[in-house]
Structure 1
C-alpha cells in the first residue's frame, strides 16, 4: 500500500532528529563535507594504487574527527552495499601500512555506539583479523 509508511513518516517528522535533519538538508554542503564525501567515494572505487590507498586512509583518519563526522562515515557505507565490510576487508591487505590505517579507522569508529554496533556486525573472519591487528599495532594516538 502506498501509504503504509505514512504514519511512521508523520511521527518521524515530529521528532527533534527530523528538525535537525531538515535544518542540515536545507543548507548547502560545506567544502569540508564535500571533500569528505568525495574521499569516501574514491575509497569505494575499485583499484586505487597501494600508495594512494594508504594515503586515502590517512586522509580519512585526519577528517573523521568527532561524532558527526564518524556518523557521516557510517552513512557513507550503507548496509545495502556491504556496510563496513569493504573497508574492513583492508585488514587483509598485503601492505602493512594499509592494514594499520584500516585498523586505525575501525578503532576510531569504535568510539561511538553506532560504530561499535557496525563493527560487531562484521563477519567473524574479518573481526578476528581486525582484533589481531589491534593487538599488534599501537593505537593511532601513539603513532
Structure 2
C-alpha cells in the first residue's frame, strides 16, 4: 500500500499540473529515493517470505521499513506513533531470545569481521590490543 500510494500521489500531482516539468521537479524528484526504497522494501519482503525466512526476521524488517516513512503510516491512519513503538518492541523482544539460533541459521559468521561476534573472537582480539600503564603513583590516603 505504501509503494502504490507514493506513486499514485506523484502521478496525480504531476498530471494535474499545467507544467509537467515544474511539478515533477518540485514533487517527484525530491521523493525519488523514498519511492525507490518503497519498491525495494516490497521486493525484499516478498523475497523473504518466498525463501521461508524466519518470521522473527521478517517482523524486524517490516518494522524498520515502516519506520523509514512512519509519517505516511500515521497520516494514513494505519498506525499511531505509539503503536509503531510497541510493534518494534514486540519484534525485538520476540527475536532477542532466538538471536543465536537466527545468526546460526543465516550462517553469517564467515562474513562478519567484527571480533564481538563471539566470546572466542573477542578474547583473541583483546589479547592483540596494546596495554598502556603508568608507574604506580603514591596517592595519599585521607585520614578522618
Task: Determine which structure has more spread, i.e. the larger CA radius of gyration.
Answer: 2
